[in-house]
Amino acid sequence: METWDILDENGSIPGRTILRGKDLKAGEYHLVVHIWIINSKGEVLIQKRPEYLAFAPGIWATTGGSAIVGEDSITAALREVKEELGININRNSMLSPLRIKRKNDFTDIWVVKQDIELIDIKLQKEEVEDAKWVNKKELKEMILDGSFYRYSDVYFQLLSKYIQIF
């Protein structure tokens, strides 16, 4: 069972933790990381969630997950990519993260500029069914047709600092 650091409304860690699945109180948040990997052709690496997952089953999305106790944002991002895709991200290819405050979490959005061969990807089958590169036009179509997870307009507006989809 994962344990998360609880963040306050400013994103600071006051020293309390919570088990994943437990309800956060008003004014409590946890840290989530999303990792958008872009290759030199401008394509985006996306992954498909298995049908049996409770959240967004069978939907394509970006790599991501929750930080566990003691992790900072970059450590959580590197771990999530390694766990879910079996690849190592070069820290020097990571752009400064974008942060969005949502209902129960602070989400740090990392954009990584790195070429990765699909053959080098080793999927964590419990979390990821498939992975593929798509161009921005294909990604936009997938978002609009519902086959890619529809993050909020505010999220995509923030992401547009690095990746223009809409």
Write out pLDDT tens, residues 123-143: 999 999 999 999 999 999 999
Assign 133 to helix, strand or coil. Answer: strand
Q: What is the CA radius of gyration of the chain?
A: 16
Residue 91: predicted pLDDT: 95
Residue 5: predicted pLDDT: 94
Pick the closest to residue 78 from 12, 122, 67, 126 (CA basis): 67
Judged against a pLDDT cut of 90, whether residue 43 lies above it is answered with yes
Judged against a pLDDT cut of 90, whether residue 166 lies above it is answered with no
Judged against a pLDDT cut of 90, whether residue 71 lies above it is answered with yes
Domain 3-159 has CATH 3.40.50.150: no
Domain assignments of the chain as residue spans, ordered by start: 3-159
Residue 1: predicted pLDDT: 82
